[in-house]
Amino acid sequence: MNSEICEKIRTYFSQMSIYKDPEKTNSIFVGRNLPAFVKDFLLKRFMNVQTGNIDTIGLTEFLDNVIPANQGSVKDKIVSGQEVTLLARFIVYIDLVKGVKQFAIPDFGIKLSDGIIPEFTYKKHQGELVDGEKWGIVKLCLMEDNDGKKKHVNMVEYKPFKPYSSVDVSYLAEARRHFTTQEWIDVLLSAMEYDPDGFINMTQKLEFISRLLIFAEPRLNVIELAPKGTGKSYVFGNLSKYGWLVSGGKVTRAKLFYDKTRQQNGIIKNHDFTVFDEIQTIEFQEPAEIQAALKSYLESGKTTIDNNEFSSECGLMLMGNIPLTEDRRPASLLYFNSLPKNFRESALLDRFHCFIEGWLLPRVDTSMIFKGWTINVEYFSEILHTMRTNNSYNLLFDQLVEFVGKADMRDSKAIKRIATGYMKLLFPHWQSVEDVNREEFEMYCLNPAVHRRGIIKEQCHNIDPEFKVGMPEIEIR
């Protein structure tokens, strides 16, 4: 990415910009497996905003205090009676039947049976310490149980990991006006920590950015099939604390939606998106029950689990590998044959809105990791999260687009959601019909939406000829 765009980022995103130097960053964080949004928070805190230089001594001391590389040292301190403060990923479990609030910190060997959230900590953060994965600064100490026979780890203090308590979409919109569309696409790629110069054409860039659609658009359901090494897992596992990446292992209906025995919501409830990575390696228990629940949820965002109605705005994504020919094209025109058998049902797959052609993407190597000034990941993920509930782009789509005749409802909904997602990503400064460049809207938002939904329909037709491949006729007002 050229220096002119970097300088624009520093000018118009002065408080949100950060200098990325992969070699130096890797050396500082060696031995600590941290997602990008945490690394950027820490780098920003110890970086000179003028030069981009990092106070490596100060940062290293801070890391040793709150994210020690040695797991054993944390346990030793707790056992010896010391209070320990950690910046950590932890998992909360609320047992409504027993009235117990537990937590686990897997990275430091603290199990769910070890950790207790006392009532005063829970009440102080009502609505924040809910079931699921969290990031935050926690203070821990060892306490005796009420019976005095055993001990547990007490979470005596908690500070949510939320460097930006709120983000202003209007600020982003105003800043976006100072970039061309091609420049802004490069900004988005750099914010994802990839060098725009590592992509050979605009097709590759837009395909890669399409992975962000589920970050910004609620209840968008996506399928991506791609060869290994194209950065799938990194994007969804490192750029946002609001997503959940399922990588292998066993998956149950209770884990996804609602566990009746524990009276606990599943992972879909409290996340913006849930991604099934390497879906061929995931074992779905009780597949018929999961398939029935998924059909209902993918259609309406609701499903019924053991007489309990479950609803969420979480988007779902299936990611898998696909065999390619020597020229990197799918070896078979039946793309969905790469999915597990339980997912090769047209009625289920037709409920997905969007398809990403991962084989168009380059294999990621070290030269593609971005170095330079860009928007920090924590701000970037927060702004995408905030945009999910901004309905101005949906209303703008309705003013711009008319479906002619009797358009299939699933098609029209899918096209609208995909196109709206692209508007949020690429054109956040479009606040009214007068702002919209119709040519760019058609090129970057509407046509890609029709194309991506069209692939879903074509592949469903390959499974069941009853599904028609025709797409709705659309007019731009």
**Residue 416 backbone dihedrals phi, psi, to 5 degrees:** -65, -45
Over residues 246-256, the pLDDT tens digits come to: 987 888 988 89
- Classify strands 258-259 and 354-357 as parallel, antiparallel or unpaired: unpaired
Whole-angstrom distance, CA of residue 224 vs CA of residue 213: 12
* 260 vs 256, higher pLDDT: 256
Angle, vertex CA 274, rays to CA 220 and CA 343, nearest 5: 80
Span 289-306, mean pLDDT?
91
pLDDT at site 165? 67
pLDDT at site 182? 97
Over residues 103-125, the pLDDT tens digits come to: 999 888 898 888 999 999 998 88
- Classify strands 315-320 and 273-284 as parallel, antiparallel or unpaired: parallel
Whole-angstrom distance, CA of residue 104 vs CA of residue 94: 12
pLDDT at site 314? 96
Q: What is the DSSP letter of 245?
A: E
pLDDT at site 395? 96
Span 266-290, mean pLDDT?
89
pLDDT at residue 396 is higher than 80:
yes
**Tokens 């005063």 belong to which residue?**
120
Judged by DSSP in three states, 220 sits in coil
